[in-house]
């Protein structure tokens, strides 16, 4: 970043969103920068998709999540490599980018051909700044705000900065290079987080299966998923240790069932280690007139039906009485021999091994079978030892969580920094002309694309992907 300084002279652009720009820059209407490309009849070109998260990319036809396609590809619009394509309804969120190759986009999109004095990469960065997206919203038209469309006629009448062509290229090269640095940084931090997560799981597996004292003699558990356990530990079936409750959902069209003071937990609430808050509350009348059950504090809650069961088992211990829905089983311990938090840690640390055993085979909805769950033998250390294991795991896990939070915070900060850096550079607040870069080092990583947008950084990245099939 050495050498990034303001330009020597500025003038007032006359645009409130833009303010002062370098003396040698111009302001031009987009009609003097781009011409509309409205070409069809090229069905053999690859399909491009325009996304809030990644800009314009080639659609992966083999692994796409959504299968809808237009029947007649000859009606798709042609975009030439370097053209700017945007989704009319999502341009204000950053659904815009440059075509990486010649390809096809939806007829509902706009394709803008850059004129000879334009490097479209510079404008793809400009169009994704928060200030410009706010302008897009002002120029868009529609019945309701979130369905506003930016038509070509409005786009061509918008004003944009116009640095000299060589400077546009220098800015785009610099920001591409910076994206490469940021992608490497984020990838390294993600790898650190993965390592920390594996360390936590390894520590949990070690403690819940073999205890804290490494000098303790071991014996074969007799369970395929468990390996060895300390000689003085017992084994018992889950069905012997716990009573099972399954819940239900009160009628949503009965307002007297909702808004009470009984927390109602569904699978979407099982995202934290210990249930403390939930979004939904029901009344005692709802409990009396539906299949839902109120389970006591200390119950182990286990998601038994959900698509997430393909990869993990959401499990938590509730700290207060709660009602549950039909996708959850509550395990209320029958005996003081087992601590519910210890059992939760056994499940969480060995979920990769337990999932294939518990999951229902051939079901259209991923689910856990009651029989295999109830008949699973789990280790039962002495109660005092269970408590010490839980305490030690929490202590070490909290230290790991601090390190993970630090890495996540660094990712957030670098994204925020990049967002502001892009805005400052493309609007002329900082000069990149004298900053050396090595373009040969450009690096692209799938999970952190170079074409990262302000929308992604502002938390819109989890929004619905905007692709050619969306009208």
Does 462 have pLDDT greater than 70?
A: no
Residue that has been written with the tokens 């990486």 in this structure: 100
- 116 pLDDT band, cuts 50/70/90, is very high
In CATH terms, is domain 212-380 a member of 3.90.220.20? yes
User: What is residue 408's predicted lDDT score, i.e. its pLDDT?
Assistant: 96
If you average pLDDT over each of 131-145, 261-275, 309-323, 414-428, which comes out highest? 414-428
User: What is residue 148's predicted lDDT score, i.e. its pLDDT?
Assistant: 85
User: What is residue 152's predicted lDDT score, i.e. its pLDDT?
Assistant: 96
Residue 464 DSSP symbol: P
More confident residue, 161 or 308: 161
Does 2 have pLDDT greater than 70?
A: no
Half-sphere exposure of 288 (CA within 13 A, CB side): 5
Does 466 have pLDDT greater than 60?
A: no
- 290 pLDDT band, cuts 50/70/90, is very high
Residues in contact with 443: Cβ distance below 8 Å, sequence separation at least 6, in sequence order: 180, 183, 184
The arithmetic mean of pLDDT across residues 432-444, rounded, is 65
User: What is residue 269's predicted lDDT score, i.e. its pLDDT?
Assistant: 85
Does 74 have pLDDT greater than 90?
A: no
Give the pLDDT confidence of 90-108 residue by residue, as tens digits.
Answer: 899 999 999 999 999 988 8
Q: Out of 275-279, 439-443, 454-458, which region has the weakest mean confidence (pLDDT)? A: 454-458
The arithmetic mean of pLDDT across residues 203-207, rounded, is 95
- 64 pLDDT band, cuts 50/70/90, is low
Does 401 have pLDDT greater than 70?
A: yes
Helices and strands in the chain: count of H runs, count of E runs: 11, 25
Does 330 have pLDDT greater than 80?
A: yes
Task: Give the closest residue to 354 by CA, choosing from 378, 385, 333.
Answer: 378
DSSP 49-108: EEETTTEEEE--TTT-S-----S-GGGSEEE-TT-EEEETTTGGGT-EEE-SSSEEE-TT
The arithmetic mean of pLDDT across residues 154-167, rounded, is 97
- 276 pLDDT band, cuts 50/70/90, is low
- 50 pLDDT band, cuts 50/70/90, is confident
Does 312 have pLDDT greater than 70?
A: yes
Share of the chain above pLDDT 70, in %: 86
CATH fit for domain 10-165+443-462, picks 3.40.50.920, 3.40.309.10, 3.30.70.1730, 3.90.220.20: 3.90.220.20
User: What is residue 446's predicted lDDT score, i.e. its pLDDT?
Assistant: 38
Does 449 have pLDDT greater than 50?
A: no
For residues 99 and 116, give the distance between their C-alpha atoms in angstroms, rounded to a whole number.
16
Residues in the chain: 471
The arithmetic mean of pLDDT across residues 206-220, rounded, is 94
Does 459 have pLDDT greater than 70?
A: no
Average pLDDT, the chain: 87
Q: Out of 32-46, 111-125, 140-154, which region has the weakest mean confidence (pLDDT)? A: 140-154
More confident residue, 367 or 238: 238
The arithmetic mean of pLDDT across residues 252-257, rounded, is 93
Does 211 have pLDDT greater than 70?
A: yes
- 365 pLDDT band, cuts 50/70/90, is low
User: What is residue 167's predicted lDDT score, i.e. its pLDDT?
Assistant: 97
Spans of all domains in the chain: 10-165+443-462, 212-380
For residues 412 and 228, give the distance between their C-alpha atoms in angstroms, rounded to a whole number.
42
Q: Out of 85-99, 269-283, 340-354, 431-445, which region has the weakest mean confidence (pLDDT)? A: 431-445
Does 455 have pLDDT greater than 50?
A: no
Does 300 have pLDDT greater than 90?
A: yes
Residues in contact with 245: Cβ distance below 8 Å, sequence separation at least 6, in sequence order: 293, 295, 299, 324, 329, 330, 332
- Do 10-165+443-462 and 212-380 have matching folds? yes
For residues 396 and 202, give the distance between their C-alpha atoms in angstroms, rounded to a whole number.
12
User: What is residue 108's predicted lDDT score, i.e. its pLDDT?
Assistant: 86
Could you give the maximum distance between any two Cα atoms of the chain, in Å? 82
């Amino acid at each position: 970043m050495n050498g990034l300084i303001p330009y020597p002279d500025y003038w007032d652009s006359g645009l409130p969103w833009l303010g002062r720009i370098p003396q040698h820059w111009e302001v031009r209407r987009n009609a003097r920068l781009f011409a509309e490309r409205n070409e069809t009849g090229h069905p053999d070109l690859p399909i491009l998709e325009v996304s809030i998260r990644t800009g314009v990319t080639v659609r992966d036809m083999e692994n796409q999540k959504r299968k809808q396609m237009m029947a007649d590809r000859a009606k798709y619009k042609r975009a030439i490599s370097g053209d700017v394509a945007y989704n009319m309804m999502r341009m204000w969120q950053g659904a815009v980018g440059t075509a990486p190759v010649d390809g096809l986009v939806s007829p509902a999109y706009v394709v803008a051909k850059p004129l000879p004095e334009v490097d479209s990469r510079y404008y793809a960065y400009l169009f994704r700044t928060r200030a410009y997206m706010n302008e897009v919203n002002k120029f868009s038209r529609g019945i309701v705000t979130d369905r506003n469309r930016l038509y070509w006629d409005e786009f061509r009448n918008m004003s944009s900065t116009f640095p000299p062509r060589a400077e546009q290229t220098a800015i785009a090269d610099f920001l591409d290079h910076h994206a490469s640095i940021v992608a490497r940084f984020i990838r390294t931090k993600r790898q650190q987080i993965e390592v920390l997560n594996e360390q936590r799981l390894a520590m949990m597996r070690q403690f819940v299966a073999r205890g804290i004292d490494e000098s303790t003699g071991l014996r074969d558990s007799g369970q395929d998923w468990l390996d060895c356990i300390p000689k003085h530990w017992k084994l018992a079936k889950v069905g012997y240790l716990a009573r099972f409750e399954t819940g239900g959902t009160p009628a949503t069209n009965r307002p007297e069932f909702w808004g009470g003071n009984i927390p109602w937990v569904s699978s979407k609430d099982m995202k934290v280690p210990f249930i403390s808050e939930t979004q939904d509350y029901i009344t005692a009348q709802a409990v009396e007139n539906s299949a839902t059950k109120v389970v006591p504090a200390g119950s182990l809650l286990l998601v038994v039906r959900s698509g997430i069961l393909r990869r993990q088992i959401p499990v938590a211990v509730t700290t207060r009485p709660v009602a549950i829905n039909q996708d959850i089983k509550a395990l209320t311990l029958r005996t003081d021999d087992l601590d519910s938090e210890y059992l939760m840690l056994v499940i969480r640390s060995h979920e990769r091994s337990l999932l294939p055993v518990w999951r229902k085979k051939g079901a259209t909805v991923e689910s856990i079978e009651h029989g295999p769950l109830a008949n699973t033998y789990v280790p039962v250390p002495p109660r005092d030892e269970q408590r010490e294991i839980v305490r030690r795991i929490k202590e070490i896990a909290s230290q790991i969580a601090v390190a993970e939070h630090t890495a996540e915070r660094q990712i957030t900060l670098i994204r925020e920094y990049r967002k502001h850096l892009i805005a400052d550079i493309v609007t002329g607040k900082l000069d990149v002309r004298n900053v050396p870069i090595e373009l040969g080092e450009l690096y692209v990583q799938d999970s952190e694309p170079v074409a990262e947008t302000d929308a992604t950084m502002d938390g819109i990245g989890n929004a619905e992907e905007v692709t050619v099939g969306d009208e």
